[in-house]
Structure 1
């Protein structure tokens, strides 16, 4: 019998199955009300627009280019559209600053590979996006907590990283409607993160996957836009903006993008060439076709539906959750973060919920780099209809109340 474990690289020991990927399997069980998957509602996909886009490609001379190898930087018309889109966010950039990846998850993997040597430190929020931890884990880092409005000194970060055998390399955060909490970093917090990055001389990775999904409140400039305003040009900035079409148009096409200073983009292009040469050309062309003809209308459609579902879930939580629990009140995105009384365990609650209440959610511990957060969990409203929200939160609230009382 081959001992494969002895042959694998040491980094493989840091790779873990995603609890969320496993929970997504529950979506096919009709007896389970699932708030687990933070995925778009497929009923809202612009399927007819994509059908027309692919038909146009196959019925034109462009089909030969669509099926051929292409440049690693990405499909030029899509990058040109993104330059205009970024300008609307006060992120002035050129083609050299825009790079297409196979979903923003690939972008996070590349950035981990680019910056992290074994024992280096990545600064992340507590909690943070589980997919980011999975992407970075392969490069054997340590983690330290970045608190946008906290008061830790740069020296304390340096000292801790040095004691762990490496250097601080970047701060990663989702500034708008973060996965998993739904919370948004205010302007003061964004400026503090930039100031910390300047003191430590590190990069800032801004995960903007949900940036388009604001339902109410006042928009806040992206971290990259704030830094450009201070420094004058994107090529003088340290912020790396990661975006995606997965939450707005279609996740299955796996098209994301990175906007950053040109030297970083050039390094990422080399990684792309070594990994998969380029993202799917035909999918990039289809995304460009649909985005150019109706991106704003599509975003308006999904925002109307998701904001309604968010409002229903917040109301249901207010109605059914017992005293001692609390939750975030996001201005956008797809998630609400629930905190249970101290001593309760989200994973144990999930096991009991699946058995009795028949409601799925994601235990919070997986989102903490230090393994804390046992008494938290994430619920998503993006794929839940009115009945599911009312009934599911009602059942969950009753279960939690019985656990507190018991």
Structure 2
């Protein structure tokens, strides 16, 4: 038999199974109460609207919908996205938009474009584990990005040089971040721009949850703040990654990158080499649905998810023992729980699946160095009120037993 290790690239050793993707398999077990997957509630998908849009696309635009298309993406969809970006303070044109197969592909492309082996990516502690998975293939090092109190740029640069490369970008999600649910205030966003300007590095702004604000005042995206400083998107170093996965439907795999045309043109070449273009028919139907019902549909999502967040926060306050803390997000899908230091989220999950039948995501996977095992992530997007009440009752009971 062939020994595949003889032909695999060194980067393959850094490709690990996603803990979340593995936990999603538990959703097929009817007795599991799951707070694991950060996925939208399928009951809220605008299925009828997509059914009509697919029918129309295959009736009136079949030759285009089923054909090869341009790598940049379907022009009407890019025009619509550009209009929406303008509403949040990011004036741009279709030429500043690249359609990707979900924002996950965007992260993979950006890692591939900028990271050489031993280069450093600045990331949150914790950060989205899908970003770590995307970047890991390009063999980087990681350093801790803390916009509320960053180290000096010279310290970051020296550490990267000592590790054999240089800092290439800062990656962060500023609104209702996965996994913590926390939002970065305006001063911290400005500080990230200051740091990036001083170091001459890129900023990757992951905006997957930006539309799901329940309360509090909206804060301009980092790219919007940078445009205010520099006058035009063409002068900016921020790359904004958006997605329809949390707002419309994840199965269509439609996301986008918004950035200066210089970097979009390079990403287009990467898209051509990777998969030519994202699904044409999916882009057409996404445009049809988004352009006719985006705002009222997202308003429905906000109302539903806000009620679930409120119910989860109340259940945590009622059921969790002393010594357990959690975040209070203004939107999104997640609450981040910090356990007493002696506890380990992975051990707790193993026990929970055996005895309490409650699923969640252990926090260690969200740290680039595998630290902070006494954390876990709860998603409230797919849990109804009885499930939240019973799930937190069981989880609280298990935590008490392990103290």
Q: Normalised by the size of structure 2, how large is the TM-score?
A: 1.00
Cα-to-partner distance string for 1:118-151 (whole Å, 9 max, x where unaligned):
0000000000000000000000000000001114
1:402 aligns with 2:401: yes
3-state secondary structure, aligned to 2:122: strand
Tell me which residue corresponds to 2:54: 54
Tell me which residue corresponds to 2:379: 380
Q: What is the deviation of 1:305?
A: 0.6
Tell me which residue corresponds to 2:188: 189
Cα-to-partner distance string for 1:170-214 (whole Å, 9 max, x where unaligned):
000000000000000000100001100011100000000000000
1:68-87 to 2 correspondences below 5 Å: 68-87=67-86
Which residues of structure 2 form unaligned runs of 5+? none
1:212-361 to 2 correspondences below 5 Å: 212-361=211-360
Q: What is the deviation of 1:271?
A: 0.3
> Distance in 1 between the 2:190 and 2:393 partners?
40
> Distance in 2 between the 1:320 and 1:304 partners?
24
> Distance in 1 between the 2:370 and 2:151 partners?
21
Q: What is the deviation of 1:95?
A: 1.4
1:44 aligns with 2:37: no
3-state secondary structure, aligned to 1:240: strand
Which residues of structure 1 form unaligned runs of 5+? none
> Distance in 2 between the 1:127 and 1:396 partners?
22
Tell me which residue corresponds to 1:119: 118
3-state secondary structure, aligned to 1:123: strand
> Distance in 2 between the 1:58 and 1:327 partners?
48
> Distance in 1 between the 2:107 and 2:20 partners?
18
Q: CA RMSD in A?
A: 0.5
Cα-to-partner distance string for 1:329-373 (whole Å, 9 max, x where unaligned):
000000000000011100000000111111000000000001101
3-state secondary structure, aligned to 1:59: helix
Tell me which residue corresponds to 1:12: 12
> Distance in 2 between the 1:302 and 1:333 partners?
10
Tell me which residue corresponds to 2:177: 178
> Distance in 2 between the 1:345 and 1:5 partners?
33
> Distance in 1 between the 2:374 and 2:149 partners?
22
Runs of 4+ in 1 over 2 A off after TM superposition: none
1:206 aligns with 2:205: yes
Q: What is the deviation of 1:402?
A: 1.3
Q: What is the deviation of 1:31?
A: 1.2
Q: How many residues align?
A: 403
Tell me which residue corresponds to 1:2: 2
3-state secondary structure, aligned to 2:169: strand
1:127-166 to 2 correspondences below 5 Å: 127-166=126-165
> Distance in 2 between the 1:301 and 1:46 partners?
11
> Distance in 2 between the 1:14 and 1:58 partners?
42
Cα-to-partner distance string for 1:285-335 (whole Å, 9 max, x where unaligned):
000000000000110011111000000000000000000000000000000
Q: Normalised by the size of structure 1, how large is the TM-score?
A: 0.99
Tell me which residue corresponds to 1:64: 63
3-state secondary structure, aligned to 1:177: coil
Residues 124 and 151 (structure 1 numbering): CA distance in 2 closer, same or farther, change over 3 Å? closer
3-state secondary structure, aligned to 1:337: strand
> Distance in 2 between the 1:70 and 1:235 partners?
26
> Distance in 2 between the 1:304 and 1:247 partners?
14
Q: What is the deviation of 1:63?
A: 1.0
> Distance in 1 between the 2:153 and 2:59 partners?
58
> Distance in 2 between the 1:222 and 1:3 partners?
48
3-state secondary structure, aligned to 1:379: strand
